[in-house]
Amino acid sequence: MKIEWYPGHMSKTSRLIAEVIMSFHVIIEVLDARLPVSSANPVLEKLRQNKPCIKVLNKSDLADPEVTKAWVRHFDKMRGVRALPFDARKRSDVGLVTTLCKRLAPNRCKPGFPLRAMVIGIPNVGKSTLINTLAGKRMARIGDRPAITTCNQQIDLRNGIMLSDTPGLLWPVMDDQEGAYRLAASGAIGDSALDYVEVARFAAEYLMQRYPKLLLERYKLAEMPETATALIEAIGHLRGCLVTGGEIDPHRSAEAFIRELRSGKIGRISLEEPS
C-alpha cells in the first residue's frame, strides 16, 4: 500500500510561508528526533535561504541518545543551522530555545525591535507543545491526531520574542515511501491513510535489525522470531489480540505494537541515522 496523505490546508500554508518567510529573523523547525529527515519538509531549505534556523529535535526522550548526538553534529555543520535536542518536560530545554534565538539574531530583542520567529513543523511532531511550553501557558491546541493546528496565530513571549505558529506542514508527494512508513510509525500520518499491518511489519523489520535486545526484553522473548510477521504474531499473543477460535488478530496485534513503539514503551529508538 502506498502512503499518501496531504490535508488541504497544507497547500495554502506552503504558499503563505513562501510569501512571508523573509520577514522573520529566525526559523524554528520542529523535527521528530527519531526521524529528523523524514519529519522535515524539504522545501523549507529552499525557502529560508540564508535565514538562521534552529532545528528542534523534539521527543528526544523517545529517541536513541547516541543517534541524536550524531544528528546534532550533522545539522550543526550546515550553514546558519543549529540543532537542539528538546524535551518539553524539561524547563531548562525551553530556556535553551530562547537563548539560541537571541544568539542567532543578536540585533533584535530590543525595545521596538522584537525578534520574530516562525515555528514550522509537520503534523503531530510536537510543534504546539513547544509553543505552549515557551509561552508558559496553553496557546496552541494539542492532540494525538495529526493536523490539529489549521490557522496561523501570533504569540508574544513577553521577552522580546514574537512567535508565529503555522499549521503542520507536510511534503505533499511522499515519493520516498520508506520515509512515509517512518512517519506512519511515528504517528505523523492520519490513521485513515495507513495500513497498520504493513507499517508494523516495516517497523518490526527495522527494530529486529537495529534494536533486537529491546524487543527481546520488552516482549520477554527467548529468541527473536525469524520474520517481522512472526514477531507481530508473538506480540499479539502476548497482548491477547485474539479472535474467536484463538487465532491472532493481525490488525489489533499490529496496532498494539505500533502504539507501544510510539509511546516509547519498547525503549528509546531512532528510526533513521545520519549515515
| Chain segment 21-30, per-residue pLDDT in tens | 888 999 999 9
Q: How much is the average pLDDT of 150-178? A: 72
Residue 263 to residues 35, 79, 97, 144, 185, Cα–Cα distance (Å) = 15, 33, 24, 11, 11
What pLDDT, on the 0 to 100 scale, is given for residue 23? 83
Q: C-alpha grid cell for residue 174?
A: 511522499
Is residue 252, in this structure, part of any structural domain at all? yes
Domain CATH number, residue 98: 3.40.50.300
Report whether 201 contacts 137 (CB < 8 A): no
Beta-bridged to residue 86, according to DSSP, are 58
Question: Mean pLDDT across the chain, nearest whole number?
Answer: 84
Whether the predicted pLDDT of 105 surpasses 70: yes
pLDDT band of 147, cuts 50, 70, 90: very low
pLDDT band of 2, cuts 50, 70, 90: low
81-86 sheet: strands from edge to edge = 81-86, 53-58, 26-32, 115-121, 161-165, 153-156
What pLDDT, on the 0 to 100 scale, is given for residue 51? 87
Q: What is the pLDDT of residues 170-210, one digit of tens each?
A: 554 466 788 889 999 998 887 777 899 999 999 999 999 99
What pLDDT, on the 0 to 100 scale, is given for residue 192? 73
Same domain, 123 and 218: no
Domain CATH number, residue 223: 1.10.1580.10
Same domain, 161 and 204: no
What pLDDT, on the 0 to 100 scale, is given for residue 123? 76
Is residue 136, in this structure, part of any structural domain at all? yes
pTM: 0.85
Same domain, 48 and 126: yes
Q: Give the total number of structural domains in the chain.
A: 2
Same domain, 79 and 146: yes
Write out the residue range of the structural domain in which residue 81 sits: 9-165
